[in-house]
Structure 1
Amino acid sequence: MADGIVGAWQRLISGDVDWPLHALRHLPSGQTTGWYFWTGELLSDDSFFRPWHTRHLVDLIPGLEPHLALEPGTRLIYAPDHLDVWHDSSLLVE
């Protein structure tokens, strides 16, 4: 598991999981894993994502844990009984 800090939408942190879950992974930096998670529409508001430890994310959505090891440049859509994963090289541009 990519242990550390992810960026998560505030409603997700509050336990409000409205499937599907969207995620993307930039290059890790410091203690951050590069992962960002949200449900619904992704907004460009600077306060959209909040720091959250991966352990809390896995506690909320246990089936997500094996996918946290996917490499930077990954995008995914996850829901119970659904997983769509693809590579997006634009996530690797700094």
Structure 2
Amino acid sequence: MPAMQTKLTIRLDKRLVDKVKRWAASRHRSASEAVERFSAQSPDPEALRTPKSSSWVRGLSGLLDEGQPAPTDEKLRDEYIDYLEGKYR
């Protein structure tokens, strides 16, 4: 059964609306379908709340002490930036 569709009215700058319409027409789609497909690709807000480690970090997690959570990519990046800042001061 197809998903139920509903109407949404949004206000956008005319130049942006024209751009969306041109993009959609170049792909033989309606502007509504283009916006729908774009919106469907946006991440789920719930997924954004939980930081995820890359597969590389997850692969290394077995090397960590038991009971310690694997560091996130953001933590590793911050630690490396701190190291570089200290090295090149």
Q: Same fold (TM over 0.5)?
A: no
Shorter-chain TM-score category? Answer: under 0.3
Structure with greater contact order relative to length (CA < 8 Å, sep ≥ 6): 1
TM (norm. structure 2) is 0.21
Question: Which of 1 and 2 has greater Rg?
Answer: 2
Judging by fraction of residues, say which structure has more strand: 1
TM (norm. structure 1) is 0.20
